[in-house]
Amino acid sequence: MRIHKRDAAGRRMLALLLAGVLAVGGASVLAAAAFAGQRPWRSQPAAAQMGTVACADVGASLDSVPDDAKADVDRGLAELDVQVADAYQSLAESGAGGGEKSVMSDLAAKRTATLQKLAASAGPDSGLPKDVAGLANCSIRRDLVVDASARDYTPEAVNAAERSKAPTAQKSQKSGLGRGFVDIRSVSPNNPKPARTGPATGSFTSRCGRNENRHLNPDNVIVAPGVSNGAHHMHDYVGNRITDGFSSNGKLAGAGTTCSNGDQSAYYWPVLRLLDGSNDKDLKAPGGGKDRNVGRILQPAEAGITYNSPNGAKVQPMTRFLRIITGDAKALTNGPDNAHASWSCTGFEDRQLADKYPICPNGSRVVRTLKFPDCWDGKNIDSANHRTHTAFSKNGSCPRNFRVIPQLVQRITYDVPSGVKFAVDSFPEQLHNPITDHGDFINVMNRNLLDQMVSCINEGRRCG
């Protein structure tokens, strides 16, 4: 139907149609416009949403990998991540509907070849299916996207948005997995203090600074050892001074630390970027602009490293070089099962968010809280999927044959200017969703420090 500009009835009909779109699915388009500095009804119709690329998380499927095959398997997993990122980039550049079939077909072919090599290296007991073809096919998930900003999440679009002073998106749609913001004062308290029924009520703190020396890189030595840009997003580091994708245990043990008590452990998490129209020096670099992570990197105002027993159960020492991860960098497409990070504001930490960013009142800082598993199998410093050697306690108990260890809690705060948007770094196809926040830890404490930690927690003392 063609509507003349001067046809008042036509204008009213158009307004009603637009209102319907915004009510049903157009909130996503409106959020995109707010983020990218565009008017949705002029440039981004709802039908143009491109969605994101969702593939099976092959690494999460692994049960075991022979020691002599781990390097090949890790390289294969990193190669799969590159393929997904490249496919998403191709879709983002071509726009919704632009060559989707060709891009996804090419991705499936590349994944098939890589999966076959990976499965051969991992062996028959890896946990992967005999026929890996089912893991090769990926999909475009438009239902996971609550805005159309993926195509416009570029330095140019972000800068244009800030120059136009577009309003902040306040709400997300459907499953709530959008890059939405919510006023923390509108959130009901949902985070009661833990009830510690046991005697282990103490805590141990390592004071490691807030990355004043700007130790940053896009590696992940736990998930992608030996791979440069294995994370596809930038990490902040405190503690061990040399941590990167190529840090062996020996190198970590011989390195200096930013921690005041001699704790040489490696603590790291994705950076937070301020989307105020400025950019950082990694604008054209891997992990930064090349992986669609743009904006100015925010240095934490505080970076707290604390260990305790969440249930008051007595803890045992963890072993040196134990690796623990928390959260899921691919939670947007994997689902929230392993999402353990949360967001809040100082003064409001009885209210925690998982799938939205908080808008904090003036004078209040943005807070990220990353709680790590507090149970360990007592044997392995890592596992094939980097998860099954540790676990979270349930109802105060660890799984059978697991032991209780101190729970690491990383609490990171930021001074974010009022009314300015921000986003956590992520894999490109994860769309900077807050639910993808995660943290990583390699224990490089010596035995004396580990024993001191256990004594402080079990005896109810606050140390550090």
- pLDDT score at 197: 84
252-282 pLDDT, tens per residue?
999 999 999 999 999 999 999 999 889 999 9
Q: How many CB atoms lie within 10 A of CB 397?
A: 12
pTM: 0.83
Query: How many CA atoms, within 13 angstroms, populate the side-chain half-sphere of residue 424?
Result: 35
Task: Check pLDDT > 70 for residue 10.
Answer: no
Main-chain dihedrals φ then ψ at residue 193, nearest 5 degrees: -65, 140
Task: Check pLDDT > 60 for residue 35.
Answer: no
Q: What is the mean pLDDT of the chain?
A: 84
Q: How confident is the model at residue 18 (pLDDT cuts 50, 70, 90)?
A: very low
Residue 171 burial (CB < 10 Å; 0-12/13-18/19+)?
middle
Q: How confident is the model at residue 162 (pLDDT cuts 50, 70, 90)?
A: very low
- C-alpha–C-alpha distance, residues 426 and 437, integer Å: 8
Comparing 68-77, 188-197, 222-231, the range with the smallest average pLDDT is 188-197
- pLDDT score at 112: 96
Handedness of CA 50, 55, 57, 59 (dihedral sign): negative
Token reading at 31: 């959020």
Percent of the chain with pLDDT over 90: 74
Main-chain dihedrals φ then ψ at residue 208, nearest 5 degrees: -120, 10
Cα-based torsion angle of the residue sequence 141, 143, 147, 153 in order, rounded to the nearest 10 degrees? -10
Task: Check pLDDT > 90 for residue 392.
Answer: yes
Q: Which of 9-23, 66-80, 91-105 has the highest mean pLDDT?
A: 66-80
User: How far is the CA of 222 from the CAs of 324, 341, 421, in angstroms?
Assistant: 8, 18, 30
Query: How many CA atoms, within 13 angstroms, populate the side-chain half-sphere of residue 287?
Result: 22
User: How far is the CA of 239 from the CAs of 195, 354, 401, 440, in angstroms?
Assistant: 30, 26, 31, 12
Query: How many CA atoms, within 13 angstroms, populate the side-chain half-sphere of residue 274?
Result: 17
Q: Which amino acid is at 392?
A: F
- With both helix axes pointing from N to C terminus, report the angle between 155-163 and 27-36 in degrees, rounded to the nearest 10: 90
Q: Which amino acid is at 383?
A: S
Contact (Cβ atoms closer than 8 angstroms) between residue 301 and residue 412: no
Contact (Cβ atoms closer than 8 angstroms) between residue 230 and residue 247: no
Q: What is the DSSP string of 235-287?
A: EEEEEBTT-STT--HHHHHTS-BS-TT----EEEEE-EEEESS---TTTTSTT
- pLDDT score at 165: 44
pLDDT higher for 213 or 2?
A: 213
